[in-house]
Chains A and B, each alone.
Chain A
């Protein structure tokens, strides 16, 4: 195993590291301050002199009535790739969350990943209407204000496109955490439990399925089983305390916790209850997972248990560490089937594992942070994380997943991810597979 792993640092590794670290000076200063005895250190001019911001008047409190990040953070943005679009057209495309720059489990609204099928719709909230009809005892039409009058609930939930990681089925393709796994986010969503509305409307006995339909140009629609609808599906209008962003379906989207983001229909317009599934375009020609048998899995609802190490990663590597440094390995784990129970970490590409600690809030169907303190040895290694949840799911190896579903399924890839860390601390995307 791992025979092909080359301990020598290849030129591509060097160039990639240079790519991310446009300024080496910061880490050089940091390194110097660690290596030199205190008596030999030069004085840091950032300490020895007054700063510009300490010797002048700051901006007025309302300079940005809607607050903005520091302008020094201008590189912390969503990124796209022509590979995740139609011929480079960015109306039916995906933009990826910069996971390498995030902390905790809440994604700021402006960095939430975005997937659209016909561009980002801009809806006039005054003209928004939600209709619920079909096999219900009474129909209903709601305005946005009326919907917000219903008792609300808030839940911290991840949202993940089932295509997350789809570029990697046949081998590693992207050289960054952001593009490898950024098709997901986690935020606090607020809205109304659909069961609360249905309690009043009354479902007819033969109702078995719900069609959720969007009002954007693609009229995105999907069928959900009523069991899920009555369990925990919400109609949400807020994320992280404010109105949904246009990119996330302003003013209203469906939230099916733990399930494909595609099922969480944006720019929601209509819910119809019926006795048969609709076979909408995005649950037939797309969002079905072709397996090696030649048949495809349909109605592939929940995102499986998954995890990825976010530090180190190609964008934030260990090239500024020296041997002997104690450093935290950190990452994200999540499962659409339930709650993360634990994460194991391997340093040798999956031969041996140790248990990591979970930290922070551990919630169902939400990102969960894991942590492991590691004494850096300056040796090449193959770093992996493997999550498991309270629903008896264990994250599979690439081979374990491939054996069952093949490599052409596009959707629901949750195989264990591997970062190769080279002798100088550079990190690249590799796969341990046959």
Chain B
């Protein structure tokens, strides 16, 4: 078994190139020639950037060399061989590796009919996704939309471009937008129903998948999906959804990575870019390319924001802390400093003996002393803001907390 060395990883400007390097490293047993010695100080990383090979997203790949990567320093010592985990067991992989690919690999055994799917959908899905998956409740619409295509094979509904205020939106349902049917199966099984995800069996998931495909008028191997139609892994893998070819750049097959790189390398053409005009700039444009720009204001402001906008700096509405009485709260703020212990000569809260002798004067006298001051204690403990009623609550708390239990 060979190990991937950092040089190989980082020199690879594409997965294909990386693979080739790795393969040769493996077969020639030469992975250690320079590679392992320079792990962590990969001058090859520098080459990667110096060659000005753009990143797959069209952006910059920064050199990681001589202990720095842009403004960041890093430890140049080798990290190769760090491993604090353990291998996964076969059963663990089986339990978690349940994803499926568009070719059907990974789909589980099981089957379900459109009819059963209808029942389950009605019970568990329609409240959000609408009857027959037709939407209308604010959650994604799953079925419906016109699947007619233009002469280039593009779904006509997807070419709709709403003008501000117009409602003729492109429809994005399973039948008009989704590229792959296997996605429907795995998503329903793993993430639905919304409040109780992963509660559906594989059979039930096949049934609901069948129902949604049927509602979109999907044919499998030329066959209509009627009530009796039973879906399984083999049949699901054969589904070609109407918008299967509606996405770019290409991400499939051996040229995928280079296709993506090529696409993002020309961002001005493919995703739009500006120009650094500094004076007397013109900006006619939009899809028609002609109309002169003007200033568009908000027509219908989305002002329903939670919590409402507010930039003032004031005190929040008082939230009552029910875990603590008002007397205790005020005691903590104004009296605890002296009364927590007897070190300052004040009767300590919790000292039953000390408070028994205080209380020989009677409650009214104790309260009067608390308000007016007594001995070394200033009036209201020094907090003039306290109301007499506050002091009463405090004294009651202090007495109550100092009783013999």
Contact = CB atoms under 8 A, between A and B. Distances in A.
Contact of A20 (B150, B172, B311): B311
A25 to B, nearest CB: 10
A433 B15 contact: no
A261 interface: no
Interface in A381-434: 382, 386, 388, 390-391, 393-408, 412, 416, 418, 420, 428-434
Contact of B274 (A20, A396, A402): A396
Interface stretch (A81-89, A105-113, A241-249): A81-89
Nearest to A73: B313
A2 interface: yes
A196 interface: yes
Contact of B302 (A174, A205, A219, A350): A174
B60 A1 contact: no
A338 B60 contact: yes
B288 A228 contact: no
**On chain B, which size bracket covers the interface?**
35 or more
A421 to B, nearest CB: 12
A272 B162 CA distance: 40
Contacts of A207: 15, 19
A274 B105 CA distance: 12
A279 to B, nearest CB: 4
Contacts of B150: 294
Interface string A213-237: 1000111010001111011000000
B4 A203 contact: yes
Contact of A230 (B10, B159, B270, B279): B10
B262 interface: no
B85 A146 contact: yes
Contact of B23 (A117, A205, A274, A397): A205
Nearest to A354: B278
Contacts of B322: none
Interface stretch (A39-47, A149-157, A370-378): A149-157
A316 B312 CA distance: 11
Contact of A131 (B93, B160, B305, B311): B93
Contact of A88 (B39, B99, B138): B138
A210 B6 CA distance: 18
A171 B296 contact: yes
A279 B183 contact: yes
B146 interface: no
A122 interface: no
B88 A131 contact: yes
B221 interface: no
A338 B246 CA distance: 30
B18 to A, nearest CB: 7
A290 interface: yes
9 contacts: A56-B383, A75-B311, A79-B306, A87-B139, A175-B301, A276-B102, A276-B103, A294-B159, A432-B294
Given A294-B150, A295-B158, A297-B249, 4 more contacts: A199-B82, A200-B82, A285-B178, A302-B59
Q: Which 8 A-B pairs have the closest CB atoms?
A: A87-B138, A399-B285, A337-B59, A434-B291, A404-B272, A338-B60, A219-B190, A396-B274
